[in-house]
Amino acid sequence: MNQIRSRFAAAVAAFCLLLLSVPVLPQSSDPGFPVKRDESRETWRRGGLDMIERSKQMRFKRKKAKNVILFIGDGMGVSTITASRILEGQLRGESGEENSLSFERFPFVALSKTYSANQQTSDSAPTMAAIITGIKTDEGVLSVDQDVVRGDYRTVKGNETMTMLELAELSGRSTGVVSTARITHATPAACYSHTPDRNWESDADVVRHSKEAAEAGFPDIARQMIEFPYGNGLEVALGGGRHNFLPTSSPDPEAPGNEKRNGKRLDGRDLTKEWLAKYGRSNYVWNREQFEAVDSRSTDHLLGLFEGSHMQYEFDRERTGRNEPSLSEMTSKAIDILSKNDKGFFLMVEGGRIDHAHHEGNAFRALEETIELSNAVRIARSKVDLEETLIIVTADHSHTFTIAGYPARGNNILGLVREVGEDGTQEEKPATDKNGKPYTTLGYRNGMGSRPGERSAPTQEEATDPDYLQEALIPFGSETHAGEDVAIFAEGVNAWLVHGVMEENWIFYVMREAFRIDEAKLLKSRK
């Protein structure tokens, strides 16, 4: 029995069956995952020629876009994309390297420079603010310019930066945000709020960080979403973060009687009830059953808060009974509701927990979250007309995630490195370091997986366990972001504007140009 396949299959069998609907990986005496096609000199030549023919037929769609969908893989650097594509292929029993995630087939690709106004390596607040407003700003603030002082609410007024979601509302389009993180977390929050501190998600957070701001009544992020002043408000908001919308007197519906799970709000407001009161034909749901029961045809405003904090990882969601919708399902429902508007829509979808898994040093969950983002992109692409829609897929920043060693093709991407032997086939024994210890293909520059003192080598079983924390060089309580460029993928109307090496904030101008929005005219008409 091949040890790599059998242990890998045991660890992810449920994931294979439920998410990808493919058979459990077969047992075989052949080492590694087999290449599922006959390859020769002609295979590689034909692949190159096919690419040339596809490129010649590429159309530059220069017209006004009705819809724009922006996908953010939070922390989805290039190494994450590479490893995820391999894992997805291996879950189908293939070698994986020749596989492509859904968005990797998009015709237009660029690189994005992710530095912020005051950071070489940035966090999600200034990077998403740059993408959604077109203005780079400082670390820790959301949709305000760099004249704002972090934590000082007095510096916000007059320094707010208009977001693409706000402009879409002003132009009469419908809007939505979908995330597997808290809906008040940095990436989704940058779409609709303006704040000097990304951590001011509830009024309790404002009190904790700045009593002066709290006493002045500066609105927290959850409150800003409910009090959103543009157009007719967000049509769709789906994700986690329920506790930021509920008062301390309100028990969490998933943990009644557990006071530690009550809402966080100190002002006594139940913002979920305010959502229902504010919007006609509206709905609020907090579990999968309620979500599935929502009729998109009769619902114009949908708020879904499926966890007190962040939503579960996809792997854990499947294991615990599927009581939350997947990112793909939320994306599909959002498009069904938003597409009822004849003027079009803007939708931001975030795979937020890619980032969280990387911070924890857990490559398996980070890669699985990336695969689910790819599934969501595939669903979205199938539900819209690319003759009137622009789809962009990118990341806000990267992570210190590495793919190293010299593993043979088809080597288990989660496992120990096994190299190519002198006979050209994969060696049975793992490769070793200078101390004679085996090592994994995946690792981190820093993080929780650091082993103090002499390195203790993992076994294949340990390395392929879903809970394994990949080795890290420098010990940190949480792995950090990385500062290299990330990729941008685009397809549809005006996707050709995505090319070369771009400043991250240029993505906003691509979207605005696709919509043909005259920002100055819209703002003037509002006054």
Query: Rounded mean pLDDT of the chain?
Result: 92
- pLDDT higher for 43 or 34? 43
Q: Name the more confident of 518 and 331.
A: 331
Domain boundaries, the chain: 67-254+266-402+480-526
Radius of gyration of the chain (CA): 23
Beta carbons within 8 Å of 515's beta carbon, 6+ residues apart: 64, 65, 68, 167, 168, 171, 173, 344, 346
> Does position 495 have pLDDT exceeding 60, yes or no?
yes
Residues designated catalytic: 124
Q: Which uninterrupted H or E stretch holds 509?
A: helix 506-515
The tens digit of pLDDT for each residue in 205-255 reads: 999 999 999 999 999 999 999 999 999 999 999 999 999 999 999 999 988
Joined together, the tokens standing for residue 42 give 């002609």
In angstroms, rounded to a whole number, what is the distance separating the alpha carbons of residues 59 and 386? 12
Encode 194-221: b = buried (16+ Cβ within 10 Å), e = exposed: bbbbbbbbbbbbbbebbeebbeeebbbb
Residue 4 has pLDDT above 50, yes or no: no
Look-up of token digits 């003192």? 453
**Measured distance CA(501)–CA(247) in Å, rounded:** 46
Beta-strand runs (E) in 332-485:
345-351, 389-394, 398-399, 401-403, 442-447, 472-475, 481-482
For the stretch 346-360, pLDDT in tens is 999 999 999 999 999
Please name the fold of domain 67-254+266-402+480-526. Answer: Alkaline Phosphatase, subunit A (3.40.720)
Q: What is the pLDDT of residue 420?
A: 95
> CA distances (Å), 219 to each of 127, 185, 193, 271, 383, in order?
22, 15, 9, 13, 36
Structure tokens at 248: 């301390």
Instruction: Spell out the alpha helix ranges (H) of 92-172.
Output: 124-133, 164-170
Q: 349: which 2 tokens? A: 């979808």
Model confidence pLDDT, tens digit, residues 455-479: 788 999 999 999 999 999 999 999 9
Per-residue pLDDT of 13-30, as tens digits, reads: 333 333 333 333 333 334
